[in-house]
């Protein structure tokens, strides 16, 4: 005997949930991938084990195999060139590596119907683009400022939404009206194929969609991971993990 400890069998009871990361930032030895802690805390609170998925994987679909669910996170703008959009001075934090990774990961998740998929803020926009939809480049240009979807200096803000009572989202949240925390300046313009709008802000902006054929694919334009003390919002994560 060589004294080596026996290998443990994999713990198949773990609910591994992948979360796409923000793009690499910094430089040199300080370069790093990052993710706001709210995503991790929200998933841990419902018994999941969060796994951060860094951008840059050439075959993102293979990452789905060990996962019980997937979250496509928020962040900067999708490059408008991906969906035939134009230029706008307010477009920010475009990252080619992240776009390629998350677009590929989302396509793979739609094809792998075993994996429940929750898309948040930018994630909703990625899903819509994958499905052939387009985005408003800057919401105030399209719908005005009756509803603040983010405050100046890119600060989160709260506003009301209404939810389709016949949607899966309404059944999960347990309500057809609630207050959400938003932090975005873009949103769905043309809805992608296979998607159904199921929630709206008072200005008509689409705030959530569901995929009509995937067994569990919900996307929200707001940030439920910023509402960790709100039981209504945290039901989204519980449903994702328990689905």
Grade residue 93 by pLDDT with cuts at 50, 70 and 90.
Answer: very high
User: Which two tokens mark 46?
Assistant: 């419902």
- Count of domains for the chain: 1
Banded pLDDT at 133 (limits 50, 70, 90) = very high
DSSP class of residue 78? P
User: What percent of the chain has pLDDT above 90?
Assistant: 90
What average pLDDT does this structure show over 192-196? 98
Query: Is 5 within the bounds of a domain?
Result: no
Q: Tokens representing 160?
A: 């009301």
Among 3-7, 10-14, 64-68, the range with the most confident prediction by mean pLDDT is 64-68
pLDDT at 4: 59
Residue 137's domain comprises 16-25+32-242
Task: Find the angle CA(69)-CA(74)-CA(79) to the nearest 5 degrees.
Answer: 115
**pLDDT at 196 (0 to 100):** 98
Q: φ and ψ at 205, to 5 degrees?
A: -65, 135
Model confidence at 29, pLDDT cuts 50, 70, 90, reads confident
Instruction: Give the residue numbers annotated as catalytic, written as ranges.
Output: 121, 223, 225
| In-domain check, residue 11 | no
Residue 11: CA count within 13 A, CB half-sphere: 5
Residue 162 lies in a domain: yes
The reply to whether 10 falls in a domain is: no
Residue 38 sits in a domain of what CATH number? 3.40.50.880
């Amino acid at each position: 005997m060589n004294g080596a400890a026996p290998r443990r069998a994999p713990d198949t009871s773990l609910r591994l949930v992948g979360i796409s990361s923000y793009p690499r930032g910094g430089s040199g030895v300080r370069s790093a991938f990052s993710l706001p802690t709210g995503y991790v805390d929200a998933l841990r609170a419902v018994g999941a084990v969060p796994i951060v998925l860094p951008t840059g994987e050439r075959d993102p679909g293979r990452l789905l195999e060990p996962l019980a669910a997937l979250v496509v996170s928020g962040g900067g703008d999708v490059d408008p060139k991906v969906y035939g959009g134009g230029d706008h001075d307010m477009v920010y934090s475009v990252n080619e590596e992240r776009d390629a990774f998350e677009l590929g990961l989302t396509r793979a998740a739609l094809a792998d119907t075993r994996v429940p998929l929750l898309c948040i803020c930018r994630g909703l926009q990625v899903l819509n683009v994958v499905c052939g939809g387009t985005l408003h480049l800057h919401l105030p240009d399209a719908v005005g400022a009756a509803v603040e979807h983010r405050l100046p200096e890119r600060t989160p803000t709260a506003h009301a939404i209404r939810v389709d009572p016949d949607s899966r989202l309404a059944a999960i949240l347990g309500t057809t009206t609630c207050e959400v925390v938003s932090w975005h300046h873009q949103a769905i313009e043309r809805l992608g194929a296979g998607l159904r709008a199921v929630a709206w802000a008072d200005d008509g902006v689409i705030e959530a969609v569901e995929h009509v054929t995937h067994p569990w694919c919900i996307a929200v334009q707001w940030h439920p991971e910023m509402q960790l003390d709100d039981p209504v919002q945290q039901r989204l994560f519980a449903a994702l993990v328990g689905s």
